[in-house]
Amino acid sequence: MSTILAIDIGGTKIAVGVTTREELARDARFTTLRKEPVPAPGDPPTVIARVLEIAREIAPASGYDEIGIAIGGPLDHERGTVVNFPHLPGWKNVKLCDEIARALGAPARLDNDANLGALAEHWLGAGRRVRTMLYMTISTGIGGGLIIDDRLVHGVASAAAEVGHITVQTDGPLCDCGNAGCLERMASGTNIAREARELIAADPARGARLLELCGGDRAELTSEHIVAAVTDGDPLAMEIWERAIRYLAIGIGSILHVVAPPLVVLGGGVSQAGELLLAPLRRELARHVFYVPLDQISIVTAELGHDSALLGAAVLASHSRL
């Protein structure tokens, strides 16, 4: 029995879980799972010390055999180094795997959260039956992970599958990254909500239903409110939703023309809309994709939910060649 420690370091939360290879394969879950806010001030020594403290508290008597770590990029997955984690202070060139491995006496590996979400869905979730798949996470941003022949594609500087930065609106509004009309800028949860706020500001009467859902304060509006209003058939919400889906289709269409995977798994908050997202997305894809046979490509939502990056870290720990 091989005991796995999985760690997920996010911008606001840390999560630490313990599982075994057997349990992971059977139920895709952790025997022990702890989540808490990132300890202040959030710099590497503080965060690493707290992660180690939790790991020791929940460790089985036999200790850990394998360790997997999820964190936002840019990172060097081969060296186990965090190049830069901009959401927390001081996270530049941190030899995270070395520190954790030395402290706990087990080998550690790391990758970014979107890649690990892909790995989890591939081995434990919606992608169990295929060898090649694209995972896309649509939440505040848009990211992804690409798996070809059971292996993650990393690309130079682990920059593969940064699918949020495909151009979908030529000469469109500027994305935070510097390019115009990126998929993330046109269709992420954050940007759907931003667009709604702008349209409501211009015409409050049209935004009546959305304003009601967010308690009258449009600054509080999120993509969840828009999905709720789409369910009600609210015209403004539907207009925003359909536009976002059209951009998703243009972006996914471009990706299909590069790798033509048999499966696309959509994760992240926005994907929880389920068929409300999938049905119009499939329709819209049929308007943009002709060279790749769409009847041979499944587009589905993720199966694993919020803990997918942590589960992916456990999968990474347990597979030596991924």
Q: Which positions from 294 through 313 interact with a copy of itself, judged by CB under 8 A?
A: 296-297
Q: Which of 167, 190, 223, 271 touches a copy of itself by CB under 8 A? A: 167
Structure tokens at 101: 């491995």
Q: What is the total count of residues that contact a copy of itself (CB under 8 A)?
A: 49
Burial class (CB within 10 angstroms; exposed 0-12, middle 13-18, buried 19+) of 45: exposed
Contact region with a copy of itself (CB under 8 A), list: 3-11, 13-21, 40-48, 158-166: 158-166
Touching a copy of itself, residues 168-187 (CB under 8 A): 168-170, 172, 177-181
Based on the shown chain and the rule CB under 8 A, indicate whether residue 115 belongs to the binding site for a copy of itself: no
Distance between CA 126 and CA 304 in Å, rounded?
A: 8
Q: Rounded distance, CA 244 to CA 164, Å?
A: 13
Answer yes or no whether residue 156 interacts with a copy of itself by CB under 8 A: yes
C-beta of 185: minimal distance to a copy of itself in Å? 12
The minimum distance between CB 79 and a copy of itself, in angstroms, equals 15
Assign 3 to helix, strand or coil. strand
Q: Which of 259, 318, 319, 307 is nearest to 33 (CA)?
A: 307
Q: Using CB under 8 A as the criterion, what x/- string covers residues 135-154 for binding a copy of itself?
A: -----------x-xx-x-xx
- CB-CB contact of 175 with 181 (8 Å): yes
Which of the residues 81 through 100 are near a copy of itself (CB under 8 A)? none
- In total, the chain counts a number of residues equal to 322
Contact flag: residue 260 with a copy of itself (CB under 8 A): yes
Q: Distance between CA atoms of 234 and 206, rounded to whole angstroms?
A: 9
Task: Tell me the closest approach of the beta carbon of residue 171 to a copy of itself, in angstroms.
Answer: 9
